[in-house]
């Protein structure tokens, strides 16, 4: 019975992935119909394959960042595939109104695995803290570099020098955030009341590095895909892309009313890119990035479905 469930779930996962590819291809042709960007820009681009490879590495780094944090809990051992399943639940859950359901799903998996509610909340807080810390840092430095390279170098040095202090003071920073949040989230504090648990600083540092590399590689993917359109000023346009991607992603996450940050993320990307690009090109890049994200989310979701169908079919039955 378990084998049949696993096989059927795997077939569903493959079907979802194939459907996602078809939708992305169809959307590219829609873009071609309403914008001046020709689909041949992608098809004839000799940098397409390197871009795909880098995109895969970027999503693997995203998963590895979470696995680094999980490794800080020495009594629990997580495989890369199980860590992927946590990310898959989060990425698919973000499309539900409210935006928190993906995180709730990940917390449920942690608690089901044996973590306390407090430990689960602490791991999620650490992950979100590092996501925002790395994204704001990369995005701000890149955007400042577009306007004032010397100032951006100074900010980069300050960020590098202060990073060890931030990591070393992580427990105190999060405790202040929790104390502040309890003033507004009374129901949450009553049901969970998390206390800051010390997370291995090496794991935090490795996770932070993985996130920084993830943001940089995602921007590089779009630079390669759209290089024919960015070649006139490659350095300036690359800086804008490196600023737009993390700032747009984080803005979309904050926008609780927008499932998956739809509209908000694209708006931020267009706003930043039009500093040096036409609206037409900026919009095409924003839509293409959305398609890449959807494909990533569905692929990771398919891997999640496959993992639970093979390892824990009872979860799917529940």
pLDDT digits (tens, 9 = 90+) for 228-273: 888 788 899 999 999 999 999 888 777 666 666 677 888 899 999 9
- pLDDT tens column, 112-170: 888 878 788 888 888 989 999 999 999 999 999 999 999 999 999 999 999 999 888 88
Count of helices and strands (H, E) across the chain:
15, 0
Task: Report d(CA 33, CA 28) in Å as an integer.
Answer: 9
Which of 49, 60, 47, 86 is CA-nearest to residue 213?
A: 60
Q: What is the mean pLDDT of residues 264-284?
A: 89
Q: Are 219 and 245 in contact (CB under 8 A)?
A: yes
Q: Which of these ranges, 31-40, 68-77, 227-236, 307-316, has the smallest mean pLDDT?
A: 31-40
Q: Are 304 and 85 in contact (CB under 8 A)?
A: yes
205 confidence band (pLDDT: 50, 70, 90): very high
Report angle CA 273, 279, 285 to the nearest 5 degrees.
Answer: 60
pTM value > 0.85: no
Q: Give residues with Cβ within 8 angstroms of 284, minimum separation 6.
A: 31, 35, 37, 226
41 confidence band (pLDDT: 50, 70, 90): low
Q: What is the mean pLDDT of residues 199-206?
A: 86
User: In what helix (H) or strand (E) does residue 11 lie, and over which residues does it extend?
Assistant: helix 2-34
């Amino acid at each position: 019975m378990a084998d049949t469930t696993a096989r059927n779930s795997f077939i569903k996962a493959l079907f979802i992935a194939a459907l996602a590819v078809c939708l992305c291809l169809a959307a590219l042709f829609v873009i071609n119909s309403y914008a001046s960007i020709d689909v041949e820009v992608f098809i004839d681009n000799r940098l397409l394959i390197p871009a795909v490879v880098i995109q895969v590495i970027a999503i693997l780094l995203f998963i590895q960042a979470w696995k680094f944090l999980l490794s800080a809990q020495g009594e629990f051992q997580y495989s890369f595939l199980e860590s992927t399943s946590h990310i898959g639940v989060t990425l698919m859950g973000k499309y539900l109104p409210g935006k928190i359901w993906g995180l709730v799903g990940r917390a449920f998996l942690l608690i089901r695995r044996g973590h306390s509610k407090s430990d689960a909340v602490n791991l999620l807080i650490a992950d979100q803290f590092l996501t925002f810390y790395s994204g704001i840092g990369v995005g701000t430095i890149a955007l400042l570099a577009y306007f004032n390279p010397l100032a951006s170098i100074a900010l980069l040095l300050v960020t590098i020098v202060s990073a060890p202090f931030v990591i070393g003071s992580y427990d105190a920073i999060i405790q202040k955030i929790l104390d502040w949040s309890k003033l507004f989230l009374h129901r949450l504090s009553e049901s969970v009341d998390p206390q800051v648990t010390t997370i291995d600083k090496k794991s935090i540092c490795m996770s932070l590095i993985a996130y920084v590399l993830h943001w940089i590689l995602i921007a590089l993917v779009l630079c390669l895909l759209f290089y024919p359109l960015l070649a006139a000023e490659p350095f300036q346009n690359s800086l804008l892309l490196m600023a737009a991607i993390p700032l747009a992603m984080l803005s979309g996450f904050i926008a609780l009313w927008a499932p998956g940050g739809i509209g908000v993320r694209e708006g931020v990307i267009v706003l930043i890119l039009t500093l040096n690009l036409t609206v037409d090109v900026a919009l095409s890049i924003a839509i293409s990035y959305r398609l890449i994200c959807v494909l990533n989310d569905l692929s990771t979701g398919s891997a999640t479905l496959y993992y639970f169908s093979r390892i824990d079919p009872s979860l799917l039955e529940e």
